[in-house]
Amino acid sequence: MHSFQRLLILFSASFVLPFAASAQGLDTAKIDQALGRPGQKIGDVYKVGFPRTDLHVSVRGLAIKPGLALGSWAAFTGTDADAMVMGDLVLLEDEINPVMEKLRSSGFDISAVHNHLIDETPHVMYMHYMGHGGASQLATSLRAALAVSKTPLETPATAAENTVLPAWVNTVEDALVRKGSYKGGVLSYGVPRADAVTMAGITIAPAAGVAEAINFQSADSGNVATTGDFVLTAEEVNPVISELEAHHILVTALHSHMLTEQPRLFFMHFWGQGAPQDVATGIKAALDKVHTK
């Protein structure tokens, strides 16, 4: 039996409550201590971010903010003794195999390695992973793996946020008919699917990586750029492509992030740049083809 399947069977056998409701038993202070930084409780998921603030990545000449597409993260659920972590690491090409070796030596499963962007400089890759065990040990192992990359691991400084929102934020929110979260110059959305996503009978919470992730930042001449990923069933893939193409938003990747999820999901990454109203209207048209809440 594949180690990923064994991991899921062991994890599902250890819980009576669904996965999405099982994060109450985590001592998040211990996770913070092991990772060297605080996280954020999102519903029943404890999520910790590691933005690649060390990288200066541009797409077709536009410098992209870490919160737009350069955020490594880890989502913890479960209890201190029996936890699961899923996430996504942003890596340079020469960091991929050293990080993968560290994760595999600690019993983590790797579920995908691929691009999310195109035409970016320098080229960045994304590694999706999953681990099961004691929460503190998972966090310690993850930090050790990140340490063989150049990912900043020091406790991030708390930056003062500008409380005055740029005009384009309201334009995008009005077009999407949804309020987003604005931080670090990036407007972010995590739109949950209406249908449950499971692995081995365990429900995966949207914040663990199965929500539609859509980000916006300012670009030149009053424009905005958008990127992220749509989480889609097979039947939704081509209708979403058609809407993105109709609104001049590029599809940059189509692939899987997990191994044994139900329903089978496809993750479609995209890049759009233009007037806020036009770009947001295109994203809204694509979202309308997805079974979201």
Q: pLDDT of 224-266, one tens digit each?
A: 999 999 999 999 999 999 999 999 999 999 999 999 999 999 9
Place of tokens 């080229």: 123
**Quick one: 14 exposed, middle or buried, by C-beta within 10 A (0-12, 13-18, 19+)?**
middle
Distance (Å, whole) CA 209 – CA 205: 8
Count the neighbouring beta carbons within 10 Å of the beta carbon of residue 159: 8
Q: Tell whether omega for the bond before 263 is within 30 degrees of 0, i.e. cis.
A: yes
- Domain regions of the chain by residue span: 3-146, 167-287
Q: What are phi and psi of 235, to 5 degrees?
A: -70, -20
164-201 confidence digits (pLDDT tens): 899 999 999 999 999 999 999 999 999 999 999 999 88
Rounded to an integer, the average pLDDT of 46-50 is 98
pLDDT value of residue 168? 98
Burial class (CB in 10 A: 0-12, 13-18, 19+), 135: buried
Q: Which helix (H) or strand (E) holds 5?
A: helix 3-13
Q: Would you say the C-alpha torsion 173, 178, 183, 184 has a positive or negative sign?
A: negative
Q: What is the mean pLDDT of the chain?
A: 92
